[in-house]
């Protein structure tokens, strides 16, 4: 009897949480969903004080930013995590890992401030696509390093020793370990990219503009981005522009759902 | 290094004369002299003297935690990667000081190892066996296919997997995985195969198959096996070394040691009073 009550209580709570998540998703996606398919929403520049047109430059800006963050952070983070798990043993490795995981807990606005002070001002790079991507990368790298290192360390020592016993060099052993962990590593990279795609604070003050009439001509130009566009419209503009924020929010949630679904599918493959 | 056992260059210490006649002559492959080993503060091997012959199967036997695996793993220097490991004394591999070898990769191709838990690589059956030869620079599908087939045949696995070589190795059963690991070791054409309790994770039927397989390959390779089961040592080994708390208590011809143990500790182990 008591067991049945407890079981039903747990079941109720679980369903409640799932329902809440679905409600939140629906509440965000539903109002803006139709604007995504509105003529020109994805392909036009915003017009008339963002009351008409589309979010094309923000879409392009966010895409460039994710690509740049990918190009900067993934090679560095992957190499660092291989070094931490395979080459640097003992205490020093543990210290580096705990530094990285501490960095993942730092609020993202702090990375924005760091980017503004260091990249934009100290290094004199100004606000641009590049400095925004660097600020985002500064935040993403420790995140990818932390989770990738965990996946690499989870590869059984047996696999390393088997490779060693067949005459594999240190480097060849590392390749084998990466083979064993690649799905996890890919998951970590996708999570990192998803994170950098959605972050607003680090790019708000380091390289994005609220309104652009043309696409960036180089990585030294500032750009529009999806999350900052939502912020800009909601904070600065009137009722007649809000639909554009709704459409953008809806689009972002759909993107995030796609990215995380891909991760779930990957995890499923790993189980099989 | 010459693996054929027809040419006798070293002293004959193998006591199993009958076996010798069958498979050729015995050479000393490993000579361990005054070996002490530590993990951190723990003294796991004490003043170990041992000799491992190329003929037949030598079993290193003893209760769990007695240091037998440490001894085996010292032979191909697999303990090197353990930061707290420390070793003192001498190990000679065919007159070469093991702890002075600089090209470890080449040495480990000669002295390869099979582990307690089957540990196939996360790749296909074919790629698992071809891994070692590929490291050695063997290229070309026909070459690799020939090596893979030969190794799998020697490991008595070919008939079971020949139609599904592209299947992931982890899909095989535990016993098959372990035979695959043996095939993988044979594919690098080693001189010595070290086995660290290779049947500890397997059921009795799979165990029997592995034991039969080891007896077959022992005519061609030097086989050293660590086991905590005296039944296994009795069934397959020609020579046995009994280790207790890091000390070699007794060693010699398996039948002699089993039937007429000289040392009180060996008697206790054999009658199940320790271990």
Domain with residue A224: its CATH number is 1.10.3720.10
A176 shares contact with chain B (CB less than 8 Å)? yes
CA distance A214 to A196: 23
Q: Specify if A42 maps to a domain.
A: no
CA distance B47 to B247: 7
Output the pLDDT for position A264: 86
Q: Specify if A17 maps to a domain.
A: no
- pLDDT tens for the 272 residues of chain A, in order: 889 999 999 999 999 999 999 999 999 899 888 899 888 889 989 888 888 888 999 999 999 999 999 999 999 999 999 999 988 877 899 999 999 999 999 999 999 999 999 999 999 998 999 999 999 999 999 999 999 999 999 999 999 999 999 999 989 999 999 999 998 999 999 999 999 998 989 999 998 888 888 888 888 998 999 999 999 999 988 888 899 999 999 999 999 898 888 888 877 765 44
Output the pLDDT for position A88: 87
A89 shares contact with chain B (CB less than 8 Å)? yes
- The verdict on a CB contact (< 8 Å) between B135 and A166 is yes
Fold observed for domain B19-270:
Rossmann fold (3.40.50)
Q: Specify if A15 maps to a domain.
A: no
- The verdict on a CB contact (< 8 Å) between A161 and B78 is yes
**Which of B40, B118, B135 is the mutation pick for testing A, counting most A CBs within 10 A?**
B135
Output the pLDDT for position A52: 86
Residue ranges per structural domain of chain B: 19-270
Output the pLDDT for position B191: 92
Sign of CA dihedral B75, B80, B84, B90: positive
Output the pLDDT for position A236: 87
Residue in chain B nearest A89 by alpha carbon? B83
Output the pLDDT for position B275: 65
- The verdict on a CB contact (< 8 Å) between A168 and B76 is no
Residue in chain A nearest B79 by alpha carbon? A161
CB pairs under 8 A between A and B: 61
- C-alpha distances (whole Å) from A62 to each of A35, A65, A69, A222, B109 are 19, 5, 10, 11, 51
- The verdict on a CB contact (< 8 Å) between B83 and A90 is yes
ipTM of predicted assembly, 2 dp: 0.83
Residue in chain A nearest B129 by alpha carbon? A166
Output the pLDDT for position B81: 83
Nearest to B121 among A89, A159, A167 (CB): A159
Residue in chain A nearest B117 by alpha carbon? A158
Contacts of A90 in chain B (CB under 8 A): 83
Containing domain of residue A95, as a range? 50-271
Q: Specify if A68 maps to a domain.
A: yes
Output the pLDDT for position B269: 84
**HSE value, Cβ hemisphere, 13 Å, CA-based, for A230:** 18
The DSSP element (H or E) to which B162 belongs, if any, is: none
- The verdict on a CB contact (< 8 Å) between A162 and B109 is no
Q: Specify if A30 maps to a domain.
A: no
Enter the DSSP assignment of B88: E
- Low-confidence spans in chain B with pLDDT less than 70: 1-24, 275
**HSE value, Cβ hemisphere, 13 Å, CA-based, for B253:** 12
The pairing of beta strand A46-47 with beta strand A52-53: antiparallel
- C-alpha distances (whole Å) from A240 to each of A36, A229, A233, A245 are 17, 15, 10, 10
Contacts of A180 in chain B (CB under 8 A): 121-122
Q: What is the total count of domains within chain A?
A: 1
Q: How far is B78 from chain A (nearest CA, A)?
A: 7
Residue in chain B nearest A183 by alpha carbon? B122
- The verdict on a CB contact (< 8 Å) between B131 and A166 is yes
The DSSP element (H or E) to which B157 belongs, if any, is: none
A87 shares contact with chain B (CB less than 8 Å)? no
Output the pLDDT for position A269: 62
Closest CA to A162 of A173, A152, A171: A173
Output the pLDDT for position A161: 92
- The verdict on a CB contact (< 8 Å) between B78 and A164 is yes
Output the pLDDT for position A240: 87
Output the pLDDT for position B80: 87
Sign of CA dihedral B54, B3, B76, A158: negative
Counting Cβ atoms within 10 Å, is residue A177 exposed (0-12), middle (13-18) or buried (19+)? Answer: buried
Q: How many CB atoms lie within 10 A of CB A20?
A: 10
Enter the DSSP assignment of B158: H
**Residues of B contacting chain A (CB within 8 angstroms):** 76, 78, 81, 83, 105-106, 108-109, 112-113, 115, 117, 119, 121-123, 131-132, 135-136, 181, 184-185, 188, 194
Q: Specify if A74 maps to a domain.
A: yes
Output the pLDDT for position B206: 87
Output the pLDDT for position B24: 55
Q: Specify if A66 maps to a domain.
A: yes
A88 shares contact with chain B (CB less than 8 Å)? no
Q: Specify if A183 maps to a domain.
A: yes
């Amino acid at each position: 009897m008591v067991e049945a009550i407890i079981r039903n209580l747990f079941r109720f709570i679980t369903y409640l949480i799932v329902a809440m998540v679905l409600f939140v998703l629906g509440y965000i996606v539903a109002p803006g969903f139709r604007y995504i398919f509105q003529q020109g929403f994805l392909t036009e520049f915003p017009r008339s004080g963002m009351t008409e047109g589309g979010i094309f430059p923000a879409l392009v800006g966010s895409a460039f930013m994710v690509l740049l963050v990918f190009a900067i952070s993934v090679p560095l983070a992957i190499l660092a995590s291989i070094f931490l798990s395979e080459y640097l043993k003992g205490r020093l490795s543990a210290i580096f890992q705990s530094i990285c995981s501490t960095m993942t807990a730092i609020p993202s606005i702090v990375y924005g401030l760091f980017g503004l002070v260091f990249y934009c001002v100290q290094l004199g790079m100004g606000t641009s696509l590049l400095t925004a991507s660097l600020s985002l990368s500064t935040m993403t790298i420790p995140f990818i390093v932390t989770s990738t290192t965990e996946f690499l360390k989870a590869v059984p020592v047996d696999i390393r020793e088997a490779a060693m016993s067949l005459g594999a060099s240190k480097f060849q052993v590392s390749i084998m370990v990466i083979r064993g962990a690649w799905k996890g590593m890919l998951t970590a990279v996708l999570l990192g990219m998803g994170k950098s795609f959605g972050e607003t604070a680090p790019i708000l003050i380091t390289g994005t503009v609220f309104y652009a009439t043309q696409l960036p001509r180089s990585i030294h130009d500032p750009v529009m981005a999806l999350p900052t566009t939502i912020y800009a419209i909601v904070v600065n503009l009137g009722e007649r522009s809000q639909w554009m924020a709704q459409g953008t929010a809806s689009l972002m949630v759909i993107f995030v759902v796609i990215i995380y679904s891909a991760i779930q599918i990957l995890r499923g493959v790993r189980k099989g | 290094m010459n693996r054929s056992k027809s040419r006798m260059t070293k002293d004959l210490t193998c006591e199993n004369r009958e076996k010798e006649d069958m498979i050729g002559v015995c050479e000393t492959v490993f000579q361990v002299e005054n070996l002490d080993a530590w993990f951190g503060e723990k003294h796991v091997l004490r003043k170990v003297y041992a000799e491992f012959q190329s003929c037949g199967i030598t079993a290193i036997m003893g209760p769990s935690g007695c240091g037998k695996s440490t001894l085996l793993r010292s032979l191909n220097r697999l303990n090197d990667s353990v930061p707290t490991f420390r070793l003192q004394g001498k190990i000679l591999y065919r007159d070469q000081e093991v702890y002075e070898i600089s090209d470890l990769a080449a040495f480990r191709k000669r002295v390869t190892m099979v582990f307690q838990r089957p540990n196939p690589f996360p790749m296909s059956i074919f790629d698992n066996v071809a891994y070692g030869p590929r490291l050695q620079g063997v290229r070309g599908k026909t070459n690799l296919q020939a090596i893979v087939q030969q190794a799998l045949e020697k490991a008595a696995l070919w008939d079971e997997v020949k139609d599904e070589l592209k299947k992931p190795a982890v899909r095989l059963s535990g016993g098959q995985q372990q035979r695959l690991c043996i095939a993988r070791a044979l594919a690098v054409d080693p001189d010595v195969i070290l086995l660290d309790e290779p049947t500890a994770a397997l059921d009795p039927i799979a165990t029997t198959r592995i034991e039969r397989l080891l007896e077959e390959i022992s005519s061609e390779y030097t086989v050293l096996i660590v086991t905590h089961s005296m039944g296994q040592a009795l069934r397959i080994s020609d020579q046995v070394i009994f280790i207790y708390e890091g000390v070699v208590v007794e060693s010699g011809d398996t039948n002699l040691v089993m039937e007429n143990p000289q040392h009180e500790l060996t008697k206790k182990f054999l009658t199940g009073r320790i271990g």
